[in-house]
A and B are shown apart, each in its own frame.
Chain A
């Protein structure tokens, strides 16, 4: 029982770290720019299929692939924002039409992937998939057996590094600080001499670029089919809202929380209930404390 519990928590932490990578881009876009990019998980799935394609044809590691493709995703993000800005933000229609727009984009991405790859599950090959790190080999835990599968551990480490990198970028660089200011503090932005549209465009590019990495991590963790992205919509929005809308460290901790909640429910109640966990937490949060757990009140 306790062994199950500890293993579930450990698995939850690893899973949560990966969730942070998925939520990171949305945290910037939704939390800082007030753009409700509900299609963000769909971009993550594009990242997965890109990693799959390169891995299948050239045998390259999925995570390395995703870093090589960062510029492509960055540009994709910039194009997406440009279009969004011209059609909706400039005319003040972002509330209704903007939401429906991203919803439509999400749907188109899903259908396109189905048209190209079908609805079968796809997976990747990498040397670390299939092995585990046994904590018992390092720390004497008595009778407990605690394992860290590498296919979870590697994504966790990459996700933590990327999250840390984005955190440093936002807090230490000129553009990063402009992104933090863009929706909250127009005056500060003007004093910095930054053009809000350019700043938002840049931020959107970064956000979509993180989706490339998250996508590679996703397909390392488990096989992917085109509609998997939908399950992540609730998770990432739950994480971003719980994390306090745009706080990067808050996002990371909220992601760990959701990860642990899911593995606990999966272990003790049943895997088929796990997808509802994040949504349930999200609904309760919205009803009780919409500013999030780590909120800026």
Chain B
């Protein structure tokens, strides 16, 4: 029953999204919701490794940018193939990067893994800066195709695309969270040595976790060059991406798949409102302060606060 409800909501959201492109004509809404969903995917991806498995990743920006630059590379190398191809290839490339990083560093304690992810991001950035084929330090312009099938404008197509990626990310994350794999990941997060001794193949599960994380980050990054039409390393590898990817699940709650969904909606909306109405620097400051505030005062995030609230209310009723 519960399962059916979940799939019903997923399908309904997708259909409402499609309907939205038919009625709304102010493009701002699509840009704003695109940004919110991109943020949500990054939060979901980070949470699979950080929240479910307990390995902090500071290199989200690197994976995201690797996705974006996969699109740039394909655009340059194959004379602007359809974006959908990039959206399929980028997760594979980034998943492989995730697998590689995981293989070399996951035997280490969590702290070293976190630092290693940062290293990977900087190394990828240095490679891109020195790689003239994808624009080097100067960046790369993409012309948006003028004709779009079915939709009124390209941003509507991008909106539907990122909506589909978001829903897939939610499905994947929910599956990992509630399946046998999810229980194994939780055991690793709680106590890796005990998990291994209880038969959990920790290395294998951690590799699944890094690969899926990388793949989803890459999927979030793949449409990015078309969204902003000009990519350069500094903005693609922005530290903000890494901060956001951590802030979303930290605010929403890291233990379950729903946390980053809530966190993404909340933080994304705040961010879009503040950027439009006040200033973007202040917006960054708010993100930072909210992040640190949640980590220190409500480490279980909003879902944790909600559970505490329900528990207290149930006790009050008894």
Partner-B contacts on A (CB < 8 A): 36, 38, 83, 87-88, 93, 95-97, 99-101, 103-105, 107-108, 110-112, 114-115, 227, 230-231, 233-234, 237-238, 241, 270, 272-273, 275-276, 279-280, 282-283, 286-287, 290
Contact = CB atoms under 8 A, between A and B. Distances in A.
Given A103-B243, A233-B118, 12 more contacts: A104-B247, A107-B239, A111-B284, A112-B285, A115-B282, A227-B239, A276-B123, A282-B116, A282-B119, A283-B116, A283-B119, A286-B108
B250 interface: yes
A275 B126 contact: yes
B266 interface: no
Which of A97, A99, A100 has the largest count of B CB atoms less than 10 A from its CB? Answer: A100
Contact of B111 (A36, A93, A101, A108): A36
B285 A115 contact: yes
Contacts of A270: 130
A136 B105 CA distance: 47
A279 B123 contact: yes
A231 B122 CA distance: 8
Nearest to A101: B295
Contact of B289 (A108, A115, A241): A108
8 contacts: A36-B114, A99-B56, A101-B295, A105-B292, A114-B284, A273-B126, A283-B119, A290-B112
Nearest to A281: B119
A-B complex: 4 closest residue pairs judged by Cβ atoms: A276-B126, A279-B119, A108-B288, A104-B292
Interface in B289-318: 289, 291-292, 295-297, 299
Nearest to B129: A272
Contacts of A103: 58, 242-243, 246
Given A95-B110, A103-B243, A38 B58 contact: yes
B268 interface: no
B111 A280 contact: no
A241 B113 CA distance: 13
A104 B291 contact: yes
B115 interface: yes
A296 to B, nearest CB: 16
Contacts of A279: 118-120, 122-123, 126
B263 interface: no
Contacts of B282: 115
Contacts of A112: 285
Contacts of A233: 115, 118
Contact of A101 (B58, B112, B115, B292): B292
